[in-house]
Amino acid sequence: MTTEATGASTGATPGATAESAAVAARAEAFVADLQEWLRIPSISADPGHHDDVARSAAWLAERLRAEGWPQVEVWDDTDALPAVFASWPAADADAPTVLVYGHHDVQPADLADGWSFAPFEPEVVGEELRGRGASDDKGHLAMVRLGVAAHLAATGADGPAVHLKLLAEGEEESGSAYLDALLAAHRDALACDAIVVTDTGMVGRDAPTVCTGMRGMVDTEIVFRGASVDLHSGQFGGAVPNPVTELARLVAALHDDDRRVQVPGFYDDVRPPTDAERAAWAALPFDEPAWLAGSAAGAQATAGEAGWSTYERLWARPTAEVNGLHGGYGGPGHKTIVPHSATAKLTFRLVADQDPARVLEGVRAFVAAHTPPGISAEVIAGGPGVPPLICDVDSTLVTTIREAMGVALGAEVLPAREGGSGPEALLATELAAPLAFLGVMLPSDRIHAPDERAVLPLLLAGAEATAHLWRMLGDRGV
Ligand SMILES: [Zn+2]
């Protein structure tokens, strides 16, 4: 999410628990170690950096071994870029198994994109660690490693209170194209009772939240075609349909005056947020002018489906978005034509329990109903789509994460969601386990953007939260 409260810093009293003392004792080494990892430019999107992705995987595997994880493997046996898997059994054979998911690849970063510091020469400035991956997601995977060390130090045990597994994917930033193959190839190793995703954050430093859902997506391109070539607008204009005009009519018909999406059946499967969730979201700080001017980069007003707040529109309502609308002549001067074709690129963000395949069927029906005589329409789907993911807010897993984060942050942790889409639904479905999130990224971390940074006290608090979590889940189960 994209707003952030400011003011007093979040944080429980350092040293107030055995876990926080153990984290504090390791803080300096943690930062130095993370800086070393951040110097490896593991950019999955750039084939020129795929050696670095492999180097990053090897680095992580070596560290995990040194930290005592009994089983550590680099998985390079599918078309996926190298992933790292590790496992550390609990002493108690009956303890639940928890799989932690994160990714060790990073978004591209180049000084020329507007960075004010070298993206792969990380440095600490005040409370911040600056560099690509400092937050997303190397910082968060390092946070989990520190949390395990703190958990063991605090309990004095040789092994964790739950059977811990860790999966660090190598190409999440490139869309996890081969994650399904990776999961299928290693289903037995990854078997678990619960999944905890680190690749996530909070609404603000003083609005500690836990993500409980992400939206899915359907990606389409609609092409309207008329004549086989552009026609003279004097000789033919007014006598044949204009594909650009007709496609603009279709796009305009996507929403009604209340900005509700008009695709047939679009809302049939939408699960509304609970009253408790809506109350929690209403209690979160939201400074609309600051949000518009800051996170929303000067957007001039909020706009969306009538009857819902901005958080609700982003987290609990599906959307239809026009990503691009192209057709005809856009060059210098003028060209008097009836264009032969027009294209609209549309994406739909989905919420539970919408099914991407069903939404796509609705889109095809909508296009058919808005294609006039004389125009042929084509709907091109950009893959099978991403299903939405929703957590069981009342589950032991989610309530225990809220409690563990609350102890570490010294504040109540409210449920929130994220508007984006990721591989979480695939993980939960393929591994048939409940999934929850624990991460401390802030909107101001500038992930995917120039000048990425992490707030070190929050990463340390996050590590403490995971240390509490393993102890608590060992006691209660998941
Ligand atoms: Zn990420």
Separation of CA 127 and ligand 1 centre (Å) = 21
Separation of CA 402 and ligand 1 centre (Å) = 21
224-238 tens-digit pLDDT: 999 999 999 999 999
Residues 166-171 have a mean pLDDT of: 98
266-291 tens-digit pLDDT: 999 999 999 999 999 999 999 999 99
Separation of CA 421 and ligand 1 centre (Å) = 11
User: CA geometry: angle at 452 spanning 446 and 456, to 5°?
Assistant: 100
Residues 241-262 have a mean pLDDT of: 98
CA distance 305 to 28: 48
Separation of CA 333 and ligand 1 centre (Å) = 45
Residue 125, strand partner residues = 128
CA distance 437 to 140: 12
Separation of CA 37 and ligand 1 centre (Å) = 16
pLDDT for 476: 95
Cα-based distances in Å from 469 to 257, 406, 412, 465: 47, 11, 15, 6
Enter the tokens of residue 284: 């979160």
Separation of CA 443 and ligand 1 centre (Å) = 13
**Residue 434 DSSP symbol:** -
| Residue 107 scores a pLDDT above 90 | yes
In this structure, which residues have their CB less than 5 angstroms from ion ligand 1?
136-137, 199
CA distance 407 to 404: 5
Q: Which residues, including other chains, have CB under 8 Å from residue 242's CB and lie 6 or more apart?
A: 226, 338, 339
- C-alpha closest to that of 388 among 433, 356, 436: 356
Separation of CA 310 and ligand 1 centre (Å) = 23
Separation of CA 200 and ligand 1 centre (Å) = 7
Residues written for the chain: 478
319-330 tens-digit pLDDT: 999 999 999 999
Cα-based distances in Å from 462 to 144, 158, 437: 8, 22, 12
Share the mean pLDDT of the chain. 95
Cα-based distances in Å from 318 to 173, 284, 352: 23, 21, 9
| Residue 148 scores a pLDDT above 80 | yes
Separation of CA 239 and ligand 1 centre (Å) = 52
**Residue 205 DSSP symbol:** T
pLDDT for 295: 85
Separation of CA 441 and ligand 1 centre (Å) = 10
Q: How confident is the model at residue 12 (pLDDT cuts 50, 70, 90)?
A: low
- Report the percentage of the chain scoring pLDDT > 70: 97
Q: Which residues, including other chains, have CB under 8 Å from residue 115's CB and lie 6 or more apart?
A: 109, 450, 451
| Residue 45 scores a pLDDT above 50 | yes
* E strand spans, 5-70: none
Residues 251-277 have a mean pLDDT of: 97
Separation of CA 106 and ligand 1 centre (Å) = 8
pLDDT for 2: 37
Separation of CA 475 and ligand 1 centre (Å) = 30
- pTM for the model stands at 0.92
Q: What are phi and psi of 437, to 5 degrees?
A: -120, 145
pLDDT for 466: 98
342-398 tens-digit pLDDT: 999 999 999 999 999 999 999 999 999 999 999 999 999 998 999 999 999 999 999
Separation of CA 43 and ligand 1 centre (Å) = 12
Separation of CA 137 and ligand 1 centre (Å) = 5
| Residue 6 scores a pLDDT above 70 | no
Separation of CA 22 and ligand 1 centre (Å) = 27
Separation of CA 108 and ligand 1 centre (Å) = 12
Q: What are phi and psi of 321, to 5 degrees?
A: -125, 130
Separation of CA 158 and ligand 1 centre (Å) = 31
Residue 163, strand partner residues = 97
Residues 166-195 have a mean pLDDT of: 97
Separation of CA 368 and ligand 1 centre (Å) = 38
Residues 248-271 have a mean pLDDT of: 98
| Residue 10 scores a pLDDT above 50 | no
Separation of CA 388 and ligand 1 centre (Å) = 17
Separation of CA 457 and ligand 1 centre (Å) = 19
| Residue 7 scores a pLDDT above 70 | no
Separation of CA 201 and ligand 1 centre (Å) = 10
